Amino acid sequence: MSEAIEIYKANNHEEASSCLSNLITENISTSKNKNFSIGLSGGSTPKLAYSMMLNDIKDFSNVIIWTIDDRWLPLTDENSNQNMINSNFDQTNAKILSIKYSGDNPYDDAELYSQTLKENTETFDAGVIGLGNDGHIASLFPNTAGLNENEKLIIANEVNIISKWRISSTFNLLSKISNLYLLVTGDNKKEILIKALNGSDLPINKLLKMREKTLIITDQDV
């Protein structure tokens, strides 16, 4: 296993979620930056951690929340990651940078969000991502064009899973995040996590090779 990978072994999903919340809370409290920028993912895995963050983080006034990736869907759709993130953090005084859905052109929406990030974030201080059973991270799925983008921050990637298009962070952006947390819990993720740690040719492995350090928080014995 690479020295760039650090693993925190939790006993269960709740403990893993608590660990993630504590780490992010500490990152925010010790940050010397004027604002603290954190990228969040959607899905069911980080929900408990987000709930814990609402209790653990006492002041969100200097926190900027942006979205790692989303399905190209109206923000009212139950499958929208942006919807999930907003529903958790709208109650705070954090600055939320939402992905906009025009319904017209996913490439334009991706470029707009890239500009939004450039105009509102000076640093990328933390990020939370998960790991798909096929080794995808964000919306960078195996055998999709987005794997080959090396310059942009945000792209439109055609995946044809739930929605045809996704708006996604690129490897370039994910590699810039100072503290990147990979939250992987559940017995169904053990096999793909072992595969990733053994150096497979998966999207997660490309990212791990690009980064100086990534912390994996898991309840699996790997």
Q: For the domain that residue 78 is a member of, what is the CATH number?
A: 3.40.50.1360
Classify the C-alpha dihedral 56-176-121-90 as positive or negative. negative
**What is the percent of the chain with per-residue pLDDT over 70, rounded to a whole number?**
99
pLDDT at 2: 59
Say what the pLDDT of residue 121 is: 95
The predicted structure's pLDDT at residue 3: 60
DSSP bridge pairs for 97: 66
Find the domain containing 205 and state its range: 5-218
Type of residue numbered 8: Y
What's the pLDDT at 203?
97
In the predicted structure, residue 1 carries a pLDDT above the cut 60: no
Q: Is the pLDDT of residue 186 over 90?
A: yes
How many angstroms separate the CA atoms of 21 and 175, rounded? 21
The mean pLDDT value for 38-43 works out to 96
Question: What is the pTM assigned to this prediction?
Answer: 0.95
Integer-rounded Cα radius of gyration of the chain: 16
Once rounded to an integer, what is the mean pLDDT over residues 167-183?
98
The 3 state secondary structure assigned to the chain is CCCCEEEEECCCHHHHHHHHHHHHHHHHHHCCCCCEEEEECCCCCCHHHHHHHHHHCCCCCCEEEEECEEECCCCCCCCCHHHHHHHHHCCCCCEEECCCCCCCCHHHHHHHHHHHHHHHCCCCCEEEECCCCCCCECCECCCCHHHHCCCCCEEEEEEEECEEEEEEECHHHHHHCCEEEEEECCHHHHHHHHHHHCCCCCHHHHHHHHCCCEEEEECCCC
Tell me what pLDDT residue 139 has.
Answer: 98
**Cβ–Cβ under 8 Å, residues 40 and 130:** no
Among 42-46, 144-148, 160-164, 170-174, whose mean pLDDT is lowest?
A: 160-164
Reported confidence tier of residue 200, pLDDT bands at 50, 70, 90 = confident
Question: HSE on the CB side for 212, CA within 13 Å?
Answer: 4
Say what the pLDDT of residue 65 is.
98
Q: What is the count of structural domains for the chain?
A: 1
How confident is the prediction for the chain on average, in pLDDT? 95
Task: Check whether 45 has a pLDDT greater than 70.
Answer: yes
Task: Kindly report which listed range (3-7, 19-23, 30-34, 179-183) carries the lowest average pLDDT score.
Answer: 3-7
- Residue 154: band (very low, low, confident or very high) from pLDDT cuts 50, 70, 90: very high
pLDDT in tens, 76-95: 999 999 999 999 999 999 99
Residue 207 neighbours by CB under 8 Å, 6+ apart:
137, 171, 174, 175, 214
Average pLDDT score over residue span 115-129 = 97
